[in-house]
């Protein structure tokens, strides 16, 4: 299948129960080149768009027998996904993509031919007010991909020191005004009005972060990004997965990673450059087409990098 044969309408049709529109899906299928009988690992199932296209490509277009192992950390995504994968050669698991060994064992698969990671959050998660991901609304400040495990953002803000909060917002959000925001958060705690909701945190960010000229990102963007990365340990999980995945792949297999901010992209770029097992195939990251960005504005910050597992040199 080439890039032109995959279109966004296909993805929307297959993911009927999800409102997420997959990003750079034609490029994912094109670069992973699913092979007959091959096994592709979709580590971020989300609405299932990439999994469905890869399963179709592996089973219909290249001789059949291919299979997709898909995983999502969000139990809600895995639940909704069961309807999406019906009748397709996709095994869907709930868990984190860095636990690839657990998934390979459960699926009785020895090695992978392709891997895709489409990082960040899905539109389904963004739309669900009970999760706290969107700052255009209100709801509990949770921000966990898996709300059944770990500590929510609200709990972190209730327990951490002012310095820990400021450091997290600076490190994971690259927010220059992190100290000012952390101070306000801790002041509310001292007044026995701890920050518990999206609207309360947005209000603090609005008061601490002035809108700058020609720079129209929302004042809460960086703070929410930071807290989400922190509570989900997103960067540590990505680093850990990048260490293990190449060893679980066949020579010639490809790994494609789509990231949405510079912290993630830097980790991917450095790992692809420094890992002796990998040959980077994209010197510069691939970007979505203008046409895709017009249809799906959420894709505008996507950057995709692809690497191949080196073949043995005799
Ligand atoms: C951008 S969406 C993926 C969309 C998907 N590629 C599609 O085409 O519909 C990212 C998904 O990754 C999941 N996720 C984030 N971190 C994860 C992790 N460590 N392990 C597994 N899934 C994760 C999120 O829960 C979310 O559903």
Span 218-248, pLDDT tens digits: 999 999 999 999 999 999 999 999 999 999 9
Residue to probe by mutation, ligand 1, list 25, 68, 72, 288, most atoms within 8 Å of CB = 72
CA-nearest residue, atom 12 of ligand 1? 44
CB 18 within 8 A of CB 124: yes
5-9 contacts at long range (C-beta below 8 A, 24 or more positions apart): 6/30, 6/53, 8/292, 8/295, 8/296
Diameter of the chain measured on Cα atoms: 69
pLDDT at 313: 57
Query: Is the per-residue pLDDT at 214 higher than 80?
Result: no
pLDDT band at 9 (very low <50, low <70, confident <90, very high): very low
pLDDT band at 45 (very low <50, low <70, confident <90, very high): very high
Angle at 75 between CA 69 and CA 78, to 5 degrees: 40
Span 95-113, pLDDT tens digits: 999 999 999 999 999 999 9
**Rounded distance from Cα 44 to ligand 1 centre (Å):** 3
Mean pLDDT of 3-18: 47
Mean pLDDT of 30-57: 92
Which residue has tokens 């191949």?
308
Helix axes of 221-232 and 198-208: crossing angle, nearest 10 degrees: 130
Residue to probe by mutation, ligand 1, list 28, 46, 143, most atoms within 8 Å of CB = 46
CA-nearest residue, atom 3 of ligand 1? 46
Residue 65 gets the label, from left (phi > 0), alpha (psi -120 to 50) or beta, of: left
Give Cβ neighbours of residue 281 (< 8 Å, ≥ 6 apart): 31, 254, 306, 307, 308
Span 47-63, pLDDT tens digits: 999 999 999 888 765 56
CA-nearest residue, atom 19 of ligand 1? 96
Q: Checking DSSP bridges between strand 278-280 and strand 303-309, what pairing results, if any?
A: antiparallel
Give Cβ neighbours of residue 183 (< 8 Å, ≥ 6 apart): 162, 166
pLDDT band at 213 (very low <50, low <70, confident <90, very high): low
CB 177 within 8 A of CB 156: no
**Rounded distance from Cα 117 to ligand 1 centre (Å):** 8
Query: Is the per-residue pLDDT at 5 higher than 70?
Result: no
Query: Is the per-residue pLDDT at 88 higher than 70?
Result: yes
Cβ of 210: how many Cβ atoms within 10 Å?
9
Cross-strand pairs, 69: 41, 91
């Amino acid at each position: 299948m080439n890039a032109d044969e995959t279109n966004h309408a296909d993805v929307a049709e297959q993911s009927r129960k999800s409102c997420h529109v997959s990003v750079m899906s034609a490029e994912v299928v094109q670069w992973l080149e699913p092979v007959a009988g091959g096994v592709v690992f979709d580590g971020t199932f989300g609405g299932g768009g990439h999994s469905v296209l890869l399963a179709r490509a592996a089973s219909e277009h290249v001789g059949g027998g291919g299979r997709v192992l898909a995983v999502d950390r969000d139990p809600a995504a895995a639940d909704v996904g069961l309807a999406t994968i019906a009748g397709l050669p996709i095994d869907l698991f709930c868990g984190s993509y860095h636990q690839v060994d657990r998934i390979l064992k459960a699926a009785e698969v020895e090695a992978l031919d392709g891997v895709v990671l489409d990082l960040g959050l899905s539109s389904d998660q963004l739309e669900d007010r009970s999760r706290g991901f969107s700052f255009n609304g209100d709801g509990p400040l949770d921000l966990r991909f898996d709300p059944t495990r770990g500590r929510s953002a609200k709990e972190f803000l209730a327990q951490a020191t002012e310095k820990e909060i400021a450091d997290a917002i600076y490190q994971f959000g690259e927010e220059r005004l992190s100290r000012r925001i952390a101070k306000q958060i801790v002041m509310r705690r001292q007044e026995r009005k701890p920050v518990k909701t999206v609207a309360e945190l947005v209000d603090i960010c609005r008061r601490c972060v002035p809108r700058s000229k020609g720079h129209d990102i929302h004042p809460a963007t960086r703070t929410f990004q930071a807290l989400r990365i922190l509570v989900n340990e997103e960067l540590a999980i990505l680093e850990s997965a990048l260490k293990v995945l190449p060893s679980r792949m066949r020579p010639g297999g490809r790994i494609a990673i789509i990231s949405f901010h510079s912290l993630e992209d830097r980790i991917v770029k450095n790992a692809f450059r420094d890992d002796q097992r990998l040959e980077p195939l994209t010197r510069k990251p691939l970007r979505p087409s203008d046409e895709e960005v017009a249809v799906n504005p959420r894709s505008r910050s996507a950057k995709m990098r692809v690497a191949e597992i080196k073949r043995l040199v005799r």
